[in-house]
Amino acid sequence: MGDIKYTKEHEWMCLDDDGHVTIGITDYAQDQLGDIVYVELPETGAEVTAGEEVAVVESVKAASDVHVPINGKVVAVNEQLEEEPELVNSSPEADGWFMKIAPSDPTELDMFMDKTAYEDYLGSQ
């Protein structure tokens, strides 16, 4: 996995070797949600626009929308989450990924926080 970037909305993104961007929610986000019981993912092939709601996560505490941070096309979703939504809790930044996007412009990733900046951001909350 390449460098991970983070959003202020607690999503993470990683540019993979194949040029796709894997997206999920951060450990902080899953911790805030509590035990996740359901994940609704976007359709493969969907064109997505930065800021658009693309997934829903439901926990024992609340439901939360997940917004796509970059423009592109959904090329894969983590179908394992349909049967095992708890993977988002146990492995949010690895096995609990949500989708892979073919980015319209990979340089969009440059505007997001790296791990150090994200940790600083969490510390200021």
Which tens digit of pLDDT belongs to each residue from 59-95? 998 899 999 999 999 999 999 999 999 999 999 999 9
Query: Could you tell me the residue ranges of all domains in the chain?
Result: 4-111
For residue 44, give both structure tokens.
Answer: 């493969």
* Ordered DSSP codes for the chain: ---EEE-TTSEEEEE-TTS-EEEEE-HHHHHHH-SEEEEE-PPTT-EE-TT-EEEEEEESS-EEEEE-SS-EEEEEE-THHHH-TTHHHH-TTTTT--EEEEES-GGGGGGSB-HHHHHHHHHT-
Distance CA 38, CA 95 (A): 15
pTM score of the predicted model: 0.95
Residue 1 clears pLDDT 60, i.e. is over it: no
Q: How many CA atoms lie within 13 A of 11 on its CB side?
A: 29
Distance CA 79, CA 69 (A): 21
For 4-111, give the CATH class. mainly beta
What are the pLDDT digits (tens) for 9-59?
999 999 999 999 999 999 999 999 999 999 999 999 999 999 999 999 999
